[in-house]
Amino acid sequence: MAVVSTPFSFNTLTFPNLRRVNRFPGMAFASVNNKEAASLGVRVTEGEGNLPKVVLTSGSGSEVDIYLFGGCVTSWKVANGKDLLFVRPDAVFNKKKPISGGIPHCFPQFGPGQIQQHGFARNLDWSVVDSENVEGSPAVTLELKDSSYSRSIWDFSFHALYKITLSTKGLSTELKVTNTDNRPFSFTTALHTYFRASASGASVKGLKGRRTLNKGPDPKNPVEGSEEREVVTFPGYVDCIYLEAPSELHLDNGLGDLISIRNTNWSDAVLWNPYLTMEASYKDFVCVENAKIGNVQLEPQQSWTATQNLSIG
Ligand SMILES: O=P(O)(O)OC[C@H]1O[C@@H](O)[C@H](O)[C@@H](O)[C@@H]1O
Protein backbone atom coordinates (compact mmCIF):
# COMPACT_ATOMS: atom_id res chain seq x y z
CA MET A 1 0.00 0.00 0.00
CA ALA A 2 1.40 3.39 -0.95
CA VAL A 3 1.96 5.61 2.03
CA VAL A 4 3.03 9.20 2.30
CA SER A 5 5.04 10.14 5.35
CA THR A 6 6.08 13.49 6.67
CA PRO A 7 9.74 13.86 7.71
CA PHE A 8 9.82 13.87 11.47
CA SER A 9 12.36 14.71 14.10
CA PHE A 10 11.79 14.39 17.82
CA ASN A 11 14.12 17.33 18.40
CA THR A 12 11.99 19.67 16.38
CA LEU A 13 8.63 18.52 17.62
CA THR A 14 6.86 21.29 19.46
CA PHE A 15 3.46 21.55 20.94
CA PRO A 16 1.77 24.42 19.21
CA ASN A 17 -0.69 26.11 21.51
CA LEU A 18 0.06 23.78 24.38
CA ARG A 19 -1.80 25.27 27.26
CA ARG A 20 -2.87 24.69 30.77
CA VAL A 21 -6.56 25.37 30.99
CA ASN A 22 -7.50 26.93 34.25
CA ARG A 23 -10.36 25.69 36.29
CA PHE A 24 -11.89 29.11 36.65
CA PRO A 25 -13.35 31.00 33.73
CA GLY A 26 -11.80 34.35 33.05
CA MET A 27 -8.25 33.39 34.01
CA ALA A 28 -5.64 33.63 31.27
CA PHE A 29 -4.18 30.48 29.72
CA ALA A 30 -0.52 30.06 30.58
CA SER A 31 1.73 28.99 27.72
CA VAL A 32 3.95 26.05 28.56
CA ASN A 33 6.99 24.45 26.94
CA ASN A 34 7.71 20.81 26.16
CA LYS A 35 9.14 20.08 29.60
CA GLU A 36 6.08 21.36 31.28
CA ALA A 37 4.05 19.28 28.85
CA ALA A 38 5.12 16.17 30.72
CA SER A 39 3.84 17.62 33.97
CA LEU A 40 0.53 18.26 32.24
CA GLY A 41 0.30 14.59 31.35
CA VAL A 42 1.14 14.99 27.65
CA ARG A 43 4.46 13.90 26.19
CA VAL A 44 5.88 12.74 22.90
CA THR A 45 8.11 9.73 22.75
CA GLU A 46 9.37 7.11 20.33
CA GLY A 47 7.00 4.22 19.85
CA GLU A 48 7.38 0.94 18.01
CA GLY A 49 9.39 1.19 14.80
CA ASN A 50 10.71 4.57 16.05
CA LEU A 51 7.41 6.16 15.15
CA PRO A 52 6.38 9.25 17.13
CA LYS A 53 3.83 8.58 19.79
CA VAL A 54 1.92 10.92 22.10
CA VAL A 55 1.36 9.60 25.60
CA LEU A 56 -1.38 11.03 27.81
CA THR A 57 -1.17 10.26 31.53
CA SER A 58 -3.95 11.19 33.93
CA GLY A 59 -3.56 12.01 37.61
CA SER A 60 -5.02 8.62 38.52
CA GLY A 61 -2.37 6.78 36.49
CA SER A 62 -4.46 5.83 33.46
CA GLU A 63 -2.54 6.17 30.21
CA VAL A 64 -3.19 6.38 26.49
CA ASP A 65 -0.78 5.94 23.56
CA ILE A 66 -1.51 7.65 20.24
CA TYR A 67 0.58 7.19 17.10
CA LEU A 68 0.71 10.18 14.79
CA PHE A 69 0.83 7.67 11.95
CA GLY A 70 -2.83 7.02 11.31
CA GLY A 71 -3.87 9.23 14.27
CA CYS A 72 -4.23 5.85 15.92
CA VAL A 73 -4.85 5.32 19.64
CA THR A 74 -3.13 1.99 20.33
CA SER A 75 -3.40 1.59 24.08
CA TRP A 76 -5.73 2.65 26.89
CA LYS A 77 -4.43 1.48 30.24
CA VAL A 78 -6.84 2.12 33.07
CA ALA A 79 -5.59 2.93 36.56
CA ASN A 80 -4.95 -0.73 37.50
CA GLY A 81 -2.62 -1.03 34.48
CA LYS A 82 -4.97 -3.19 32.38
CA ASP A 83 -4.96 -2.28 28.68
CA LEU A 84 -8.54 -2.37 27.39
CA LEU A 85 -7.52 -2.00 23.73
CA PHE A 86 -5.85 -4.59 21.54
CA VAL A 87 -3.18 -4.44 18.86
CA ARG A 88 -3.02 -7.50 16.64
CA PRO A 89 0.18 -9.54 16.75
CA ASP A 90 0.50 -9.10 12.97
CA ALA A 91 0.45 -5.28 13.29
CA VAL A 92 3.42 -3.52 11.73
CA PHE A 93 4.82 -0.13 12.67
CA ASN A 94 6.71 0.69 9.48
CA LYS A 95 4.16 2.88 7.69
CA LYS A 96 3.84 0.27 4.95
CA LYS A 97 0.43 -0.71 6.32
CA PRO A 98 -2.03 0.88 8.72
CA ILE A 99 -1.54 -0.11 12.36
CA SER A 100 -3.83 -3.10 12.88
CA GLY A 101 -5.30 -2.46 16.27
CA GLY A 102 -6.32 0.14 18.81
CA ILE A 103 -8.66 2.70 17.28
CA PRO A 104 -7.87 3.11 13.58
CA HIS A 105 -9.76 5.68 11.52
CA CYS A 106 -11.82 4.66 8.53
CA PHE A 107 -12.08 7.80 6.39
CA PRO A 108 -13.24 8.93 3.86
CA GLN A 109 -14.72 5.51 3.16
CA PHE A 110 -15.78 2.72 5.47
CA GLY A 111 -15.98 0.29 2.56
CA PRO A 112 -15.89 -1.89 0.68
CA GLY A 113 -16.12 0.75 -2.04
CA GLN A 114 -14.33 2.62 -4.75
CA ILE A 115 -11.13 3.46 -2.90
CA GLN A 116 -8.84 1.41 -0.63
CA GLN A 117 -10.60 -0.49 2.18
CA HIS A 118 -11.31 1.88 5.09
CA GLY A 119 -9.82 4.88 3.27
CA PHE A 120 -6.49 6.63 3.70
CA ALA A 121 -6.66 8.45 7.07
CA ARG A 122 -5.23 5.43 8.88
CA ASN A 123 -2.08 5.41 6.76
CA LEU A 124 -1.12 9.07 6.81
CA ASP A 125 0.77 11.12 9.37
CA TRP A 126 -1.46 13.34 11.48
CA SER A 127 0.11 16.30 13.28
CA VAL A 128 -0.28 17.74 16.75
CA VAL A 129 -2.06 21.11 16.73
CA ASP A 130 -3.13 21.57 20.33
CA SER A 131 -2.70 20.13 23.75
CA GLU A 132 -4.22 20.96 27.09
CA ASN A 133 -5.00 19.72 30.55
CA VAL A 134 -8.39 20.48 31.98
CA GLU A 135 -8.77 19.69 35.66
CA GLY A 136 -6.37 16.75 35.49
CA SER A 137 -7.60 15.38 32.16
CA PRO A 138 -4.86 15.61 29.51
CA ALA A 139 -5.91 16.05 25.89
CA VAL A 140 -4.24 16.33 22.53
CA THR A 141 -5.70 17.44 19.22
CA LEU A 142 -4.40 15.99 15.96
CA GLU A 143 -4.99 17.30 12.49
CA LEU A 144 -5.14 15.81 9.01
CA LYS A 145 -5.51 17.80 5.81
CA ASP A 146 -5.67 16.83 2.18
CA SER A 147 -2.34 16.29 0.44
CA SER A 148 -1.27 15.41 -3.07
CA TYR A 149 -1.48 11.77 -1.97
CA SER A 150 -5.02 12.03 -0.57
CA ARG A 151 -6.12 14.05 -3.59
CA SER A 152 -4.81 11.36 -5.91
CA ILE A 153 -7.33 9.04 -4.23
CA TRP A 154 -10.15 11.42 -3.27
CA ASP A 155 -9.87 14.76 -4.98
CA PHE A 156 -11.24 17.09 -2.29
CA SER A 157 -9.83 19.59 0.13
CA PHE A 158 -10.73 18.71 3.72
CA HIS A 159 -9.64 19.37 7.27
CA ALA A 160 -10.01 16.83 10.08
CA LEU A 161 -9.42 17.54 13.77
CA TYR A 162 -9.29 14.67 16.23
CA LYS A 163 -9.24 15.47 19.93
CA ILE A 164 -8.40 12.70 22.39
CA THR A 165 -9.05 13.28 26.10
CA LEU A 166 -8.11 10.96 28.94
CA SER A 167 -9.98 11.12 32.21
CA THR A 168 -9.79 8.90 35.27
CA LYS A 169 -12.22 6.29 33.99
CA GLY A 170 -12.75 7.29 30.42
CA LEU A 171 -11.25 7.89 27.02
CA SER A 172 -13.06 10.39 24.80
CA THR A 173 -12.55 11.33 21.20
CA GLU A 174 -14.06 14.06 19.09
CA LEU A 175 -13.71 13.98 15.32
CA LYS A 176 -14.55 17.08 13.32
CA VAL A 177 -14.38 16.99 9.53
CA THR A 178 -14.69 20.24 7.58
CA ASN A 179 -15.20 20.65 3.88
CA THR A 180 -12.51 23.16 2.83
CA ASP A 181 -13.22 22.59 -0.86
CA ASN A 182 -15.37 24.78 -3.05
CA ARG A 183 -17.54 21.81 -4.01
CA PRO A 184 -19.78 19.64 -1.84
CA PHE A 185 -18.43 16.22 -0.90
CA SER A 186 -19.64 13.14 0.92
CA PHE A 187 -17.85 10.49 2.93
CA THR A 188 -18.41 7.51 5.19
CA THR A 189 -16.34 6.88 8.29
CA ALA A 190 -15.80 4.80 11.43
CA LEU A 191 -13.66 4.37 14.50
CA HIS A 192 -12.61 0.76 14.11
CA THR A 193 -12.04 0.06 17.81
CA TYR A 194 -10.28 -3.19 18.73
CA PHE A 195 -11.10 -4.15 22.33
CA ARG A 196 -9.00 -6.69 24.19
CA ALA A 197 -11.41 -9.52 25.00
CA SER A 198 -11.97 -13.17 25.47
CA ALA A 199 -14.04 -13.42 22.28
CA SER A 200 -15.86 -16.56 23.42
CA GLY A 201 -17.01 -14.79 26.61
CA ALA A 202 -17.56 -11.30 25.19
CA SER A 203 -20.97 -9.78 24.53
CA VAL A 204 -22.61 -6.50 23.56
CA LYS A 205 -25.90 -5.16 24.91
CA GLY A 206 -28.07 -2.46 23.40
CA LEU A 207 -28.57 -3.66 19.85
CA LYS A 208 -31.87 -5.55 20.12
CA GLY A 209 -34.41 -4.47 17.50
CA ARG A 210 -31.87 -2.63 15.32
CA ARG A 211 -31.75 -3.11 11.56
CA THR A 212 -28.74 -5.12 10.48
CA LEU A 213 -26.64 -5.55 7.37
CA ASN A 214 -24.84 -8.85 7.80
CA LYS A 215 -21.62 -8.81 5.80
CA GLY A 216 -20.61 -12.28 6.99
CA PRO A 217 -21.74 -14.23 3.92
CA ASP A 218 -20.45 -11.66 1.37
CA PRO A 219 -19.09 -8.23 2.37
CA LYS A 220 -20.13 -6.73 -0.97
CA ASN A 221 -23.72 -7.97 -0.71
CA PRO A 222 -24.83 -7.58 2.91
CA VAL A 223 -27.97 -9.41 3.99
CA GLU A 224 -30.64 -7.21 5.61
CA GLY A 225 -32.23 -8.29 8.85
CA SER A 226 -32.88 -7.20 12.39
CA GLU A 227 -31.21 -8.06 15.68
CA GLU A 228 -33.35 -10.20 17.95
CA ARG A 229 -30.87 -10.83 20.71
CA GLU A 230 -30.68 -8.82 23.91
CA VAL A 231 -27.11 -9.94 24.33
CA VAL A 232 -25.06 -10.28 21.14
CA THR A 233 -22.15 -12.72 21.32
CA PHE A 234 -19.25 -13.73 19.08
CA PRO A 235 -19.65 -17.48 18.58
CA GLY A 236 -17.88 -17.54 15.19
CA TYR A 237 -17.19 -15.20 12.29
CA VAL A 238 -19.03 -11.92 12.92
CA ASP A 239 -19.18 -8.97 10.52
CA CYS A 240 -22.40 -7.06 11.00
CA ILE A 241 -23.50 -3.45 10.58
CA TYR A 242 -26.22 -2.09 12.89
CA LEU A 243 -28.06 0.85 11.38
CA GLU A 244 -29.34 3.61 13.68
CA ALA A 245 -27.62 2.05 16.66
CA PRO A 246 -28.29 3.60 20.09
CA SER A 247 -26.06 6.26 21.59
CA GLU A 248 -24.85 3.83 24.23
CA LEU A 249 -23.69 0.22 24.01
CA HIS A 250 -22.33 -1.99 26.76
CA LEU A 251 -19.46 -4.34 26.09
CA ASP A 252 -18.62 -7.16 28.47
CA ASN A 253 -15.12 -8.05 27.30
CA GLY A 254 -15.22 -11.50 28.92
CA LEU A 255 -12.18 -10.53 30.97
CA GLY A 256 -14.04 -8.97 33.87
CA ASP A 257 -14.57 -5.47 32.47
CA LEU A 258 -17.83 -3.77 31.56
CA ILE A 259 -17.14 -0.98 29.11
CA SER A 260 -19.72 1.57 28.13
CA ILE A 261 -19.41 2.97 24.63
CA ARG A 262 -21.29 6.22 24.28
CA ASN A 263 -21.44 8.42 21.22
CA THR A 264 -22.97 11.45 19.65
CA ASN A 265 -23.52 11.53 15.90
CA TRP A 266 -21.99 8.13 15.15
CA SER A 267 -25.32 6.83 13.98
CA ASP A 268 -24.32 3.25 13.22
CA ALA A 269 -22.27 0.46 14.76
CA VAL A 270 -20.28 -2.50 13.46
CA LEU A 271 -19.36 -5.71 15.25
CA TRP A 272 -16.47 -7.69 13.84
CA ASN A 273 -14.52 -10.75 14.80
CA PRO A 274 -12.59 -12.59 12.08
CA TYR A 275 -12.73 -16.00 13.80
CA LEU A 276 -10.53 -18.61 12.07
CA THR A 277 -9.57 -16.23 9.27
CA MET A 278 -7.18 -14.76 11.87
CA GLU A 279 -6.37 -17.85 13.81
CA ALA A 280 -3.47 -16.31 15.74
CA SER A 281 -5.49 -13.58 17.43
CA TYR A 282 -9.25 -13.82 16.96
CA LYS A 283 -9.78 -15.25 20.46
CA ASP A 284 -8.21 -12.17 22.04
CA PHE A 285 -10.27 -9.27 20.69
CA VAL A 286 -13.60 -8.06 19.39
CA CYS A 287 -14.20 -4.92 17.35
CA VAL A 288 -17.12 -2.70 18.33
CA GLU A 289 -17.03 0.22 15.94
CA ASN A 290 -18.88 3.50 15.92
CA ALA A 291 -19.61 4.22 12.29
CA LYS A 292 -21.37 6.40 9.79
CA ILE A 293 -22.40 3.97 7.08
CA GLY A 294 -24.63 6.32 5.09
CA ASN A 295 -23.01 9.26 3.35
CA VAL A 296 -22.25 12.39 5.33
CA GLN A 297 -22.84 15.19 2.85
CA LEU A 298 -20.98 18.46 3.46
CA GLU A 299 -21.34 21.71 1.57
CA PRO A 300 -18.25 23.95 1.31
CA GLN A 301 -17.25 25.23 4.80
CA GLN A 302 -19.67 22.87 6.54
CA SER A 303 -18.43 20.57 9.31
CA TRP A 304 -19.52 17.29 10.81
CA THR A 305 -18.60 16.39 14.40
CA ALA A 306 -18.99 13.12 16.28
CA THR A 307 -17.85 12.02 19.72
CA GLN A 308 -17.09 8.67 21.30
CA ASN A 309 -16.67 8.09 25.00
CA LEU A 310 -15.36 4.79 26.37
CA SER A 311 -15.61 4.29 30.10
CA ILE A 312 -15.46 1.61 32.72
CA GLY A 313 -17.86 1.31 35.61
O1 LIG B 1 -8.70 -3.49 8.09
P2 LIG B 1 -8.82 -4.38 9.30
O3 LIG B 1 -8.42 -3.72 10.57
O4 LIG B 1 -8.13 -5.68 9.07
O5 LIG B 1 -10.34 -4.73 9.46
C6 LIG B 1 -11.06 -5.37 8.42
C7 LIG B 1 -12.52 -5.56 8.79
O8 LIG B 1 -13.04 -4.34 9.26
C9 LIG B 1 -14.41 -4.37 9.63
O10 LIG B 1 -14.80 -3.08 10.04
C11 LIG B 1 -15.24 -4.74 8.44
O12 LIG B 1 -16.61 -4.79 8.81
C13 LIG B 1 -14.78 -6.09 7.91
O14 LIG B 1 -15.53 -6.42 6.76
C15 LIG B 1 -13.31 -6.05 7.58
O16 LIG B 1 -12.86 -7.32 7.21
Quick check: 246 and 211 in contact, CB under 8 A?
A: no
Per the domain annotation, does 134 fall within a domain?
Answer: yes
Q: What is the pLDDT along the chain (313 residues), one digit of tens a residue?
A: 433 333 333 433 445 445 544 332 222 233 445 666 677 899 999 999 999 999 999 988 999 999 999 999 999 999 999 999 999 999 999 999 999 999 999 999 999 999 999 999 999 999 999 999 998 999 999 999 999 999 999 999 999 999 999 998 899 999 999 999 999 999 999 999 999 999 999 999 999 999 999 999 998 899 999 999 999 999 999 999 999 999 999 999 999 999 999 999 999 999 999 999 999 999 999 999 999 999 999 999 999 999 999 999 8
Quick check: 139 and 55 in contact, CB under 8 A?
A: no
Closest CA to ligand 1's atom 13: 239
Per the domain annotation, does 130 fall within a domain?
Answer: yes
Q: Which of 72, 110, 191, 192 to mutate to test the pocket of ligand 1 (most atoms within 8 A of CB)?
A: 192
Per the domain annotation, does 171 fall within a domain?
Answer: yes
| Cis, bond preceding 108 (omega within 30 deg of 0) | yes
Instruction: Specify the pLDDT at position 124.
Output: 98
Per the domain annotation, does 259 fall within a domain?
Answer: yes
Cα–Cα distance measured from residue 162 to residue 128, given in angstroms and rounded to the nearest whole number: 10
- Which residues have a Cβ under 8 Å from the Cβ of 296 and sit 6 or more positions away? 177, 186, 187, 188, 189, 304
Tally of structural domains, the chain = 1
Instruction: Specify the pLDDT at position 29.
Output: 32
Cα–Cα distance measured from residue 190 to residue 175, given in angstroms and rounded to the nearest whole number: 10
- Domain at 90, CATH number: 2.70.98.10
Q: In the 8-state DSSP scheme, what is residue 42?
A: E
Per the domain annotation, does 3 fall within a domain?
Answer: no
Per the domain annotation, does 30 fall within a domain?
Answer: yes
Q: In what order do the strands lie in the sheet with 303-312?
A: 30-31, 18-21, 127-134, 137-145, 158-166, 170-179, 303-312, 258-264, 248-252, 203-205, 231-233
Closest CA to ligand 1's atom 3: 100
Active site residues: 192, 289
Instruction: Specify the pLDDT at position 169.
Output: 85
User: CB within 6 Å of ligand 1 — which residues?
Assistant: 100, 117-118, 192, 215, 219, 239, 270, 272, 289
Ligand 1 geometric centre to CA of 227 (Å) = 20
Nearest to 123, CA basis, from 151, 139, 100? 100
Q: Quick check: ipTM above 0.85?
A: yes
Instruction: Specify the pLDDT at position 9.
Output: 37
Structural domain span for residue 192: 10-312
Torsion angles phi and psi, residue 150, rounded to 5: -65, -35
Quick check: 225 and 207 in contact, CB under 8 A?
A: no
Cα–Cα distance measured from residue 287 to residue 86, given in angstroms and rounded to the nearest whole number: 9
Instruction: Specify the pLDDT at position 168.
Output: 86
